[in-house]
Structure 1
Amino acid sequence: MTTAIDFAQLANVIGDAIVISDAAGDITFWNPAATRMFGYTEGEAMGRTLDLIIPERLRGRHWEGYHKTMASGETRYGNDVLRVPAVDKAGRSLSIAFTVALLHSPEGALTGIVAVIRDETARFQEERGLRKRLAELEAQAQQS
């Protein structure tokens, strides 16, 4: 017996942020984990563009890729985990990892993109610290 999945319940309890944007890049879905991660309530995020969480210096590149995906109906990131900087409501930098999937209408038209996002800021900072410490130890070893 197959049990129907209640998407709303799933999206509300899952620990990862789920953000859906339409073909223009406007946010059409924002779950509670997105609120915890980025600081914006659902009401603050809905209808706004993804610029809400994209650092200003990366927006041009993001939108170039987004519009290309909407025009072609293809993304090379469907199975790959993307790791990029993001920004929260307070202006804090975050390191996020996410996957994307394209959404289509019943007729097959591309209608938007869903991103499932995880905050990896702590892991990224830990790795950066370890790389720095390794470089220091290698430099000391070469001096010996």
Structure 2
Amino acid sequence: MDLDLYRQIVEGSPDAVILGDREGVIRLWNAGATAIFGFTAEEAIGRSMDLIIPERLRARHWDGYNRTMVTGVSRYGAGDLLAVPAVTKDGRSISIEFTIQMLKGPAGEILGPVAIIRDVTKRFQREKELARRLKELEAKGAR
């Protein structure tokens, strides 16, 4: 396959494709990432992933990230769907789901993770509202 075709797939994806290096610096940021988070590639590339990680979750994120970079093992298996909050350029909190894949160099060394991310905020809010309504109905039925 042609390298240009890969570029088109990554750049044209409505999902965010973000690559972090071993230190957690953003090295790839596609148009989907811009649409979801609001930062352009020029604003994001070269910056820490803290850009989109809520401050209250950063310590936990970096503990796991650094451990994975040292051991090469993530507690999240290939294909595991992770769900976490994230932050946009304008400071909004959003809900995201993503998968990660560890990228390795020619000698098997860890280069860093690539994440494929989808904004699921609307679905998360609908589910939260349905759960609230169900709880109300159950409370009424228990009376």
Interval containing the TM-score (normalised by the shorter chain) = over 0.9
Q: Which residue of 1 aligns with 2:91?
A: 91
Q: How big is each residue's C-alpha offset from its partner over 1:23-56, in whole Å with a ceiling of 9 and x where there is no partner? A: 0000000000000000000000000010000000
Sequence identity of aligned pairs in percent? 50
- Normalised by the length of structure 2, the TM-score is 0.96
Letter in 1 for 2:24: G
Letter in 1 for 2:18: V
Q: Which residue of 2 aligns with 1:139?
A: 139
Letter in 2 for 1:84: V
Q: Which residue of 1 aligns with 2:115?
A: 115
Deviation of 1:79 after TM superposition, in Å, equals: 2.1
Gaps of 5+ in 1: none
Deviation of 1:4 after TM superposition, in Å, equals: 3.9
What does 1:1-144 align with in structure 2 at a 5 Å threshold?
Answer: 3-4=1-2, 6-77=5-76, 78-143=78-143
CA distance in 1, matches of 2:65, 2:79: 16
- Normalised by the length of structure 1, the TM-score is 0.95
Deviation of 1:74 after TM superposition, in Å, equals: 1.0
Give the secondary-structure state (helix, strand or coil) at the position aligned to 1:97. Answer: strand
Query: What is the RMSD computed on CA atoms of the aligned residues?
Result: 0.9
Letter in 2 for 1:16: D
Letter in 2 for 1:23: R
Q: How many residues align?
A: 141
Gaps of 5+ in 2: none
Deviation of 1:14 after TM superposition, in Å, equals: 1.0
